[in-house]
Structure 1
């Protein structure tokens, strides 16, 4: 009952301020003030204020909020522990890596460019004779595959 009275008084005061503002020929500001001042009376008329007042002074409602808070706390803490430990994610990660390895074809790493967008082919470099006898053919193959 008191909440409804207070909201009604706030609305009447706001409409009075809107009237004074309109008298000063500030119609846009007056319309905005009138809109804000009609919100509390609208909430009273829809019953929201009564519901909020009943909820705010109800021990059962507060106990319900405590239970909801506890449930939220349990949920977030278990998620944090699960992420920290990595429970369940190692198996999923290994399965994803295995599936990725099986799905990728050996020649799939070469970029698939159309003929128009490919750079001009360069002549293959001649292998140099080195005194150390190391074979760089695998490195050359990789460089050729990437167009370098």
Structure 2
């Protein structure tokens, strides 16, 4: 009852402002204000306000929202842990087998390095060598650009 009264008062006030705006010869703005002010009374007449008020004041509805929030929190937490941990259970088992050396020999589609070693088993370059190689390439590019412009 209180919500319907507030919506009706808001609509009446909006229509009053629209009338004053129309009196000042701003008809487009007045029509827009009138449209906005008719929305609350339309919601009251369709029963939406009563439905929303019924939802807002029922403890069981708020308990349901709480349960949905907990479900969402659990879902997002498990997704974050899964992404951080390296994927699904199947992927972790395959990675564990590969680490123990029980992995299946590479197939024709898998690239090999050397005497049949899987592609993932290469020795990493030391960081200093990789960084200096990248810097050398960058300087070569810069030198080529400078020579192109005659500098």
- Does TM-score exceed 0.5, indicating one fold? yes
Q: Which ranges in structure 1 are unaligned for 5 or more consecutive residues?
A: 105-148
More relative contact order in 1 or in 2 (CA 8 Å, sep 6+)? Answer: 1
Looking at structure 2, the residues matched to 16 and 87 of structure 1 have their Cα atoms a distance apart, in angstroms, of 61
Deviation at 1:42? 1.0
**Which aligned runs of 4 or more in structure 1 are off by greater than 4 angstroms?**
89-92
Q: Does 2:50 match 1:43?
A: no
- In the TM superposition, what whole-angstrom CA distance separates every residue of 1:45-93 from its partner, at most 9, and x where no partner exists? 111111111111100000000000000000000000000001324659x
Query: What TM-score do the two structures reach when normalised by structure 2?
Result: 0.59
Partner of 1:102: 109
Coordinate RMSD, CA, aligned: 2.4
Structure 1 or 2: more helix by fraction: 2
Q: If you compute each CA radius of gyration, which structure gives the higher value, 1 or 2?
A: 1
Gaps spanning 5+ residues in structure 2: where? 99-105, 112-151
| Other-structure match for 1:53 | 53
Partner of 1:3: 3
Number of aligned residue pairs: give it.
99
3-state SS of 1:102 partner: coil
